[in-house]
Amino acid sequence: PSCRRYVAGGRCKSTARLEGKVVIITGANTGIGKATARDLAQRGKVIIACRDTAKAEAAASEIRAETGNQQVIVKKLDLADTKSIREFAETFLAEEKELHVLINNAGVMLCPYSKTADGFEMHLGVNHLGHFLLTFLLLECLKQSAPARIINVSSLAHHGGRIRFHDLHGEKCYNRGLAYCHSKLANVLFTRELARRLQGKFQRQMGFTANALHPGSVSSDLVRHSFLMTWLWKIFSFFLKTPCEGAQTTIYCAVAEELDSVTGQYFSDCQPAYVSPRGRDDETAKKLWNVSCELLGIQWD
């Protein structure tokens, strides 16, 4: 029915192959991440980076069986722990020579108030800071493998977010719905500032890009922390995208030939989409970058 087609949204039509190329997808053991991994495994080598390796192994063996591609590899990565992020990057760099696509897909949503191993508020820590550090650690490898792409899975929810520098970790005031929105705005601002910093002549020639996207409202277990949302998701499932439909824009950003030199953009339904005024604020983007570096104890110039 046409209503269902409308809900499904845009599709990635690119048949681009990724032979000899390496893709990392965080949180690819379920939902959109798994659907993205399944599609990209039909094109090239995929590394599934997940906290729960048992779940990830089950997903990977299913994908290997479906695609016939044995190069679907599971690596442990806990984005709520910088030690785990550093270990993952170290292992990856020791084992692989190149990295062509980094998809920062993993995320938490609507968590009750909690902190990561390093004392960051969970949404900000996992959705933004964890991926910020991971990208930093893999950046040289991406540069040397160019053309390369960095893809940050954000959300329409970024429209409801603001970066509350005076209370980044929600210690004074916490609302789990807003905490998710703030972290998704951070994804958009990170993408914007990263693209600006990669804009040198070298990057333009080499096609080294960073883009963000909104996957759509997808029927997944991301809402598991909220009984109300889980219930609503069940009732309105007809109006939600399947994980496969939700993965289309990520896949598009990863492979579409027409995006070879497109950077710093935000996509939805496989086309450029509207970014909130807060998501276009360069001053906030720069400040968030500096604060993120301070929190993580890194120098990223």
The residues that bridge with 148 in the sheet, in sequence order, are 208
- Output phi, psi for 50, to 5 deg: -140, 155
Residue of 6, 113, 174, 180 with catalytic role: 180
- Lowest mean pLDDT segment, chosen from 7-21, 67-81, 167-181, 217-231: 217-231
- Please check the confidence at residue 295 and state whether its pLDDT lies above 90: yes
Distance of alpha carbon 67 from the chain centroid:
23
pLDDT computed for residue 232 by the predictor:
59
Nearest to 120 by CA among 169, 163, 165, 83: 169
Q: Please provide the average confidence, as pLDDT, over all residues in the chain.
A: 91
Distance of alpha carbon 141 from the chain centroid:
18
Nearest to 72 by CA among 47, 97, 91: 47
pLDDT computed for residue 110 by the predictor:
86
pLDDT computed for residue 132 by the predictor:
98
Tokens of 46: 């995929």
- Please check the confidence at residue 192 and state whether its pLDDT lies above 80: yes
pLDDT digits (tens, 9 = 90+) for 118-155: 999 999 999 999 999 999 999 999 999 999 999 999 99
Q: What is the mean pLDDT of residues 75-90?
A: 98
Right CATH number for 1-294 from 2.60.40.10, 3.30.450.20, 3.90.180.10, 3.40.50.720?
3.40.50.720
**Sign of the C-alpha dihedral computed for residues 231, 232, 236 and 241 taken in this order:** negative
The residue ranges of every structural domain in the chain are 1-294
292 and 128 in contact (C-beta within 8 Å)?
Answer: yes
- Lowest mean pLDDT segment, chosen from 34-43, 232-241, 244-253: 232-241
Report the predicted TM-score, pTM, of the whole model to 2 decimal places: 0.93
Count of residues in the chain: 301
Kindly give the interhelix angle for 282-296 and 176-197, rounded to the nearest 10 degrees: 100
DSSP assignment of 32-94, as one string?
A: HHHHHHHHHHTTEEEEEEES-HHHHHHHHHHHHHHH----EEEEE--TT-HHHHHHHHHHHHH
List the end-to-end C-alpha distance of the chain, in Å, as a whole number: 51
Characterize 153-176 residue by residue with b for buried, 16 or more Cβ atoms within 10 angstroms of its Cβ, and e for exposed. bbbbbbbbbebeeeebbbeeeeeb
Distance of alpha carbon 22 from the chain centroid:
16
| CA dist., res. 8 & res. 25, Å (int) | 22
Q: Find the angle CA(178)-CA(179)-CA(183) to the nearest 5 degrees.
A: 115
Q: Is 180 a catalytic residue?
A: yes
Please report how many Cα atoms fall inside a 13 Å half-sphere around the Cα of residue 26, on the Cβ side. 29
